[in-house]
Chains A and B, each alone.
Chain A
């Protein structure tokens, strides 16, 4: 996608979001859109380590939860405004990502994936035992009165998440066509050969885990205000981790737009099923779609589209 077209689309979407908040009052829609955007942000973040670098992270919920709990802790301690909380959430997420990378550097693919799961459970255990943020019983977050010029707080949260998600997509796109991105792709394709070609694999992997962690932390930072009650079960929810993996894999991990497609598709389906059929069944969808796509179309939707184009060419 050419640069000008890309930024044009981004601007249009942002403008569209603003316009929406002016005309649409029903809070339900903003709830649904917030969740879809949150899932998109998580999927884009996951893909930086998963799709670009080839290291599968099963503990995405931990980074997300760290962002959420940073908000809970800082709000209780200092009462900071949302933008600072988001920055803090990103910083903490990035730190955790850096730590994860540093500790697991020597582990190969499968062991790395298990290590991410381990880290997620260890972090969850620690948070569950930390009474300052409510421990296992959870913490309540009061909805602030301040919501700028928007009609309601959820409208503002929606715009915030829209902005963050668009920023993440832009960063992801820039990364994929940069020297750094090509280095990550080399690591993904063949780490030993990449090292021989002069790619500082350790350093780049650390960058990758840190950026992913930071983005996920940012995704989690507004979460306490969205749900108003945070507990380890909801913050560290497996559903978040599964979505973070499934959406990029369904959309296609090789391209920056894959996670966006996957998240929009699956996220929308989940919201629709939640309302029309049942809220438990919608959770099942992503699991089934993950298994189906991974078995039949491992390159995801992007892969299917590419194959279709190639067949048309010949």
Chain B
């Protein structure tokens, strides 16, 4: 029996900024409901990859297919409507709005096609509860603590009701307990059938979370495999520690 088509298929992706090649002919795929870790040293092209997947940047060469559809030249909001969500490394809340109102936007826009019968406010509250932010639903989003802002960032991505979530270093700079909190949220999300691409530098989280890991270095994919395979891969070690 042939394998089902992957949910996300990135083929031969190349992105240049002037003379600098950020991504060079990279292939990547994510199956439905899969947990993929994307790692690599700083400047290896991870964020550029996410930007290309989410549509914030358009790649120069190569193609991106989502659920069989070619989304290579699709604007970000249309990708969001299809079910591609991303969180931002540095949280970008809608500062004039409360936490609840922040969720309303993706629910009303990106998730509109997937809207259930229930009232949007109820859905938003439920989402906040699942992520542990219910207590600050009416607080202005600009005054949140660091970890709560990260949670809000994730909550907004969840409000898109995605089939693929790209989490961009959601755990950077958090305490060990906070890292576990975020990890649980992502695992719970995945259990509901959402594919997740996790970009992190915190290795224990990546190891625990990922079913498969892709390693980038200087714009190239240098390794791909299970966490155990990656850990014992000499190329990966070299990339991180240098020659």
Contact = CB atoms under 8 A, between A and B. Distances in A.
Contact of B56 (A185, A186, A196, A199): A196
A193 B88 CA distance: 8
Contacts of A185: 94, 96-97
Given A197-B110, A254-B96, 9 more contacts: A182-B101, A182-B108, A183-B105, A183-B109, A196-B160, A197-B80, A197-B156, A198-B81, A198-B110
A287 to B, nearest CB: 27
Question: Which of A189, A192, A197, A200 has the most chain B CB atoms closer than 10 A to its own CB?
Answer: A197
Nearest to A189: B94
B108 A179 contact: yes
26 contacts: A182-B101, A186-B97, A188-B96, A192-B92, A193-B92, A193-B93, A196-B56, A196-B76, A196-B80, A196-B85, A196-B157, A197-B77, A197-B80, A197-B110, A197-B156, A197-B160, A198-B80, A198-B81, A198-B105, A198-B109, A198-B111, A198-B112, A199-B77, A200-B77, A200-B78, A202-B75
B77 to A, nearest CB: 5
Interface residues of B, number: 31
Q: Contact residue range for chain A?
A: 20 to 34
Interface string A198-228: 1111100000000000000000000000000
Interface string B102-144: 0011101111100000000000000000000000000000000
B76 A190 contact: no
Interface of A: 179, 182-183, 185-186, 188-190, 192-202, 254
Contact of A182 (B56, B104, B156, B160): B104
Contact of B105 (A192, A194, A200, A254): A194
A195 B112 CA distance: 14
A197 B106 contact: yes
